[in-house]
Every structure is written in structure tokens, then in C-alpha cells.
Amino acid sequence: MDPHHHIDHNLEAVKIFDRLASLYQEKYMNVDAYADDLQWLLSRLQQGAVVHDLACGPGNVSNYLLRHRPDLRVTGSDLSENMVMLAAVANPEAGFSVMDARLVHKLPGSYDAIVVSFLLPYLNRAEAGALIGGIKEKLTVDGYVYLSFIEAPYHTSGPQTGSQGDLVHMYFYDEAELMPVFSKYGLSVRYKSDLRTVIANGAEVKDRTIILQPIANNI
């Protein structure tokens, strides 16, 4: 049993992100370090593809996508109102709304790609599994899931001190644990990469990006 399942760490994190939205934007708006990953996805999206940026933050990934592919129809959502406001300013051609990413199954329509950039660090094991299942429901038959997370054993999850001294509970995942979840929902890994980065408390971590597609279309 997950010992933290009864505490909504996601909502706790959102309160902090809401307060520090501008600082987060200043630090993380440039996503060029993940350019190879994003370009892999962009090269496979059709003209006018419909993309949703889930837990979009200040719209940093949306901004990258639209700068390189202005033909894309991009929407985004985040539970932090201040993040959504920043995302809308940064990407006036896209549409953003306040929404809990855990309610992804309530998004209207279907999507050629759903981007989930570093949301998993704020979701426990049960929430992460439900999220993957909800995303699969909203994909087109040949859609893609862009998923990035901090690679480490789940049992090392716990409170981390942010750059402003706030304590944020972060969940870590390794690919071996996530693979059965992907298989359960009929998703197959098409691409993956690793990047060494440093989190707010100064610790070096491994960021992993995985791009998935429904198994039936991964031939």
C-alpha cells in the first residue's frame, strides 16, 4: 500500500506553484534541453494535429511546439490559475484552462498527442496509473503520449526542499515499474531518452522522457 495515498500532495504542490508561478516561468521557460525529444514528436505529427499540454505550467512546452510548428492546434490545462494565466500570455494562439490533470478523461474530443511534462513527480502510484489510462482514452488511434519524469526507485519518493525553502513531496518512478502500466492500457514505447539535471535542492537526478503510442499502431 502507498503510505502517502491519503494525502493529496498534488494539491499541496499546486498551492506552491501558484505562489511561485513567475519564478518557475523564469527558470524553466526554456526547454531547449529537451529539443531532441520534442523534435522527435513534432516530426511525426500531421499538419494541423491536435495537441493537449497537460499540467502545462507556464506554457513552456506549448511555446516550443508552436514556435516550431505553428500549424498545430494546441490547448493546455493546469490546476494552478497563475500558471494558466502565464501560459495564455506566452501562447496567445493556444487555449488554456484551469483543470486537474487527474480529470484528463473529461477533456473534450480526442488528441493526436498529449504532452505530460514532469507531472508524475506530483502523483502517487495509483494516480499515475489512472492518469495513463485516462490519457489513452483521449488519444486518436495513432496518437502519441509524451511523458517525462524523474527516474529513480519509487521507494525513494518523499519531501524535497524547493529553491524557496518550501517542502514538496515528489514521487520518483523507474521505467520497469511503469512498463506494466503502459502494457495494461495498450501503450508501447516508441522513443526514450535520459538527461542528467539538478533539482532545486541541488541533487543530481536523471530526467527520463518516454514517448508512447497505442500498440495496435506500433507495427
Q: Where in the chain are the domains?
A: 9-217
Q: Which residues make beta-bridge pairs with 159? A: 169
Residue-wise pLDDT for 14-61, tens only, equals 666 667 666 657 677 799 999 999 999 999 999 999 999 999 999 999
Domain 9-217 is of which CATH architecture? 3-Layer(aba) Sandwich (3.40)
Which ranges of 20-90 does DSSP label H, i.e. alpha helix? 21-28, 35-42, 60-68, 81-90
Rounded to whole angstroms, how far apart are CA atoms 144 and 132?
12
Longest dimension (CA), the chain: 48
Task: Report the amino acid identity of residue 19.
Answer: R
Q: For the beta carbon of residue 32, count every other beta carbon within 10 angstroms.
A: 8
**pTM as predicted:** 0.88
pLDDT in tens, 90-136: 999 999 999 999 999 999 999 999 999 999 999 999 999 999 999 99
What is the DSSP annotation of 108-134?
SS-EEEEEEES-GGGS-HHHHHHHHHH
* Number of residues that this document lists for the chain: 219
